[in-house]
């Protein structure tokens, strides 16, 4: 009898775990995959290499391989868990898709896979096949989400826009960079145009701080770092398309630096969200990695020592933040799965179809 009771409890716990899991946990994989791409690029040789870059190249290749393998392991694990959630709790997944915050994190797994693909250490790999496998879901989400905002629909951008909406833009820009790296320049330009046209409208909407876009829970304020992640990713994507970090890439990079300084100069904005560790804290790491990548490309273009120093400092900052979050995640695993998630809470604003 006791064995039967234990067996009946295990599936119940498993199903409860799947019910609490949501796409917001892919923040972890985005951060780790961003780190893998960052340190792969930093270890590549460049012309007129300064002393700081030479020190980075002394790092063993095995360290990068361990980081990439860890990112792959975490991403595969999260993907399998979410697939099981789709199978056992499809109604919750549907509700997440209809939620104004939760739907944006459906881009996160595909962004993670694209970043991991770009940072792969293996030379012989079916890159193009995997690239299209990861890009097609982003295009499908684009058609669904973007389309409802300029045709007759039940939801309007002014009422559902929030900082997490920028993940959809990052998904398009990450896809554009991947396509450019693989040699699909025209398709890459198409993805870039789609992402930037949406970003211009979205940024203006968020900048106006309308009633719908200004109601994000305090616990999710780390996602404000996505404000400088988008122009950073855009500068990387455009430089991959044009094969050089030109004036437009520099403009986007300078915008990201301004937004970064604007956020870190207001620490009181994040006071409430820092009282308790949640998975939302992982929103700090990924944008820092993108900013460090953009700064690295800028430093290679201008060749100024100060730019190389800034790139190294940003890379180290993003690394320390990621390590700190990994340690906290291991020590406070119970805090990672709360009873209710602010991402997909059943408030009136989020539950609208």
Residue 142 lies in a domain: yes
Q: What is the pLDDT of residue 3?
A: 45
For residues 178-196, give the mean pLDDT.
92
Residue 27 lies in a domain: yes
- Give the pair of three-digit tokens for residue 284: 């700090």
Start-to-end CA span in the chain (Å): 45
Residue 133 lies in a domain: yes
Residue 216 lies in a domain: yes
pLDDT band at 149 (very low <50, low <70, confident <90, very high): low
The total number of structural domains in the chain stands at 1
Specify burial of residue 242 (Cβ count, 10 A radius: 0-12, 13-18, 19+).
Answer: middle
Residue 83 lies in a domain: yes
CATH of the domain at 154: 1.50.10.150
Residue 339 lies in a domain: no
Residue 233 lies in a domain: yes
Task: Give me the long-range contacts of 164-167 (CB less than 8 A, separation at least 24).
Answer: 164/101, 164/104, 164/105, 164/216, 164/220, 164/223, 164/226, 165/104, 165/202, 165/206, 166/104, 166/199, 166/202, 166/226, 166/227, 166/229, 166/230, 167/104, 167/105, 167/107, 167/108, 167/111, 167/226
* pLDDT tens profile 28-46: 999 999 999 998 888 877 6
Domain that holds residue 325: 21-44+61-334
Residue 326 lies in a domain: yes
For residues 202-206, give the mean pLDDT.
86
> What contacts 99, CB < 8 A, 6 or more positions away?
343, 344, 350, 351
- Give the pair of three-digit tokens for residue 296: 């690295």
């Amino acid at each position: 009898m006791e064995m039967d009771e234990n067996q009946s409890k295990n599936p119940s716990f498993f199903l409860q775990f799947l019910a609490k899991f949501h796409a917001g946990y892919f923040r972890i994989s985005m951060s780790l995959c961003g780190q893998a791409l960052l340190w792969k690029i930093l270890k590549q040789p460049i012309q007129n290499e300064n002393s700081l870059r030479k020190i980075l190249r002394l790092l063993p290749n095995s360290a990068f391989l361990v980081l990439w393998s860890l990112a792959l392991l975490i991403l595969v694990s999260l993907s399998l868990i979410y697939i099981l959630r789709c199978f056992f709790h499809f109604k919750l997944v549907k509700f997440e898709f209809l939620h104004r915050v939760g739907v944006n994190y459906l881009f996160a797994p595909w962004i993670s896979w694209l970043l991991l693909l770009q940072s792969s250490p293996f030379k012989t790999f079916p890159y193009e096949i995997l690239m299209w496998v990861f890009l097609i879901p982003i295009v499908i989400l684009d058609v669904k989400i973007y389309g409802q905002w300029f045709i007759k629909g039940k939801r309007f951008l002014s009422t559902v826009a929030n900082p997490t909406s920028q993940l959809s833009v990052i998904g398009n820009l990450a896809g554009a960079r991947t396509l450019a790296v693989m040699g699909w320049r025209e398709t890459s330009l198409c993805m870039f145009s789609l992402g930037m046209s949406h970003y211009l409208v979205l940024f203006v909407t968020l900048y106006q701080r309308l009633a719908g876009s200004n109601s994000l829970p305090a616990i999710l304020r780390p996602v404000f770092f996505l404000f400088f992640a988008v122009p950073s990713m855009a500068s990387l994507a455009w430089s991959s398309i044009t094969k050089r970090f030109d004036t437009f890439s520099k403009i986007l990079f300078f915008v990201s630096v301004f937004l970064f300084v604007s956020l870190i100069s207001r620490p009181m904005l994040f006071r409430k969200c820092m009282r308790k560790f949640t998975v939302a804290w992982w929103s700090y790491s990924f944008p820092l990695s993108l900013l460090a990548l953009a700064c690295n490309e800028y430093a290679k273009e201008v060749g100024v020592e100060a730019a190389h120093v800034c790139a190294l400092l940003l890379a180290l900052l993003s690394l320390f933040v990621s390590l700190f979050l990994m340690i906290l995640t291991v020590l406070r695993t119970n805090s990672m799965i709360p009873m209710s998630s602010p991402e997909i809470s059943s408030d009136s604003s989020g539950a609208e179809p």
